[in-house]
Structure 1
Amino acid sequence: MRSGANHGEPSRRAVLGFGAAALVSGTLAACAGERPAAPVATAPSTPTAPPPRPGPAAVPGAVHVETRQAAPVLDRVDAPSEPITGLPGEGTLLAWTADDGTDSAVVAAYAAFAATTGVRLTLFATGCYDAWTDNADALRPLVDAGQVQLANHTWSHPDLTELGDQEIVDELQRTHDLLGTLYGVDARPFFRPPFGYYDDRVIAAAASIGYTTPTLWYGSLADSGLVSEQQIVDLAGEWFLPQHIVIGHLNFDPVTKVFPQLHGIIADRGLTTVTLNDVFRSEYHP
């Protein structure tokens, strides 16, 4: 049975200073040019998320003073060997993630934004796109510093549940090898199954090469396709909340035009952006 992005609670083993992880809420956003994801069901046995707080009255053109964020010092917990949809426990952390990379200019803009502000990002690379080679020089210092984390979003963005076991492995291995060659990193254990689709067979095939933590999300900027700047600001106001993993995309430029407003929401709410490696430890990132 194919699963979408709402799959119960993340691991309860990750409890050092944290509690249970948040659930996915909202609609899955498929990557540009691909079919949309299946509707999201609600898991009845898990705690209810706090109601979203309204975002500030930010509109395109508003300006926030950019301030750099210091690297957080956290008591890291073990990366779960099951899907995660949020960050564990209570706190003020935000995992801003972005997928794909169809537009090199958008990836470049994210890199410049991170370098200017200190915002910490986890980028899920779809390896077939040239953006990861085109922007290697700009991204590499941020990756080396741990401010930007690279994770695996397969090579060509297929529905993994429709592939054979070896094909699943090949999709992940090819991007794994690319990121290792270009950036000198081991992207394990985090991978994001395209469309949020996975099943037990996908989890087992990915885990066979060390990708043991399928990473989903708890809120979306819905910019896998072309949307307006104001829509992105509104969705950031809805989903940039404590302990959320929020998904964006590296495909279209409206998001790059509202970076000051998105950064302002983070600052106004007292949130601290983190990479997944900031929060979780694994044998690949002890």
Structure 2
Amino acid sequence: MDIIRELNGKSETMNCLKCFIILGCLREYLEPFIEEEITVFHQLMSEQCGCVPCANNCNFSNWNPTHNQPIPPFDCEVCTAWRDAILTHHSNQNGKVIWTNSKPHLWSQDKWQVAKVYMPNGHKNHNSLGDFDIAALLCLMNQCKHFEKFKLRGLCEKVSFVRNSIMHSPNYQLKKKDLDNYMKRIRKLCNVLVKHHPNFGSLSREIDEIQRLDLTLLARDNQAQNEEELEDKLVAALEVNRKTQNTQDLLGTEVEELEKTLSERDEEIKTLHLFYKEELKAVEQEASEPLWMKMVKFLGEKVRQVMSEII
């Protein structure tokens, strides 16, 4: 395909793709770190505000976020306490706080409903860690004061700039020097976080490997893109897997029967061994008797027979 050949001839396009890949890697490394820290943060908030569920099903349906009403009002003590605590831990208290990202009646029960208040707009229907992109996670770390203890010192904003520059690039072109600069920003963030979570050390090595990659796009065969053919290939693969499984089950059964047979034969061999051992012992005892002893036994037996006939 001409478009594939054209893209492969543009190193700046490949640089942009590398940056996408590295941002994806960063997100994967951030996930377990943020999962742990948001859990801790929500537990601390529960100790402060309580973990009693909201009984009024509070929401923002009647709230108009204007300058005259910058903070959502509640007639619920539970949600009011959580609202105030969430705002206290927000680094942008006097600016725009995206309350409508969350469902207030779940604040005391769901840590991600709390976390979403510290994220940019657009996450109202996102409810788990896997729903949030790298921009949301960086914003969370930047706007939630819980993360101040890690002393990131604006590093999240610098990495957010990298993400925004790539996402909003009109032609997805990135010069080599800009790629190197962006990678330095991500490395600096990792160098701080690795002090608290050692797994970030591996990310630096992955960045090196990705930067050295010679990326080449491959065009797929047109027939392979045919939906019907792909379905046939899937069915064939499943059939092969089924036959393989049946063969494995059959072999497993045969192995079990063979093991049982060998076990029974082993018992028979042990029984025969004991029998012949006793026989051999008797023969050895008989062979060890002196000749005169055998004659005495023979004569004694004859005397008993004669006596029994007389009597």
Shared fold per TM-score greater than 0.5 = no
Q: TM-score, normalised by structure 2?
A: 0.21
Q: TM-score, normalised by structure 1?
A: 0.22
**Which structure's residues are more often strand, by fraction?**
1
**Which structure's residues are more often helix, by fraction?**
2
Higher alpha-carbon Rg: 2
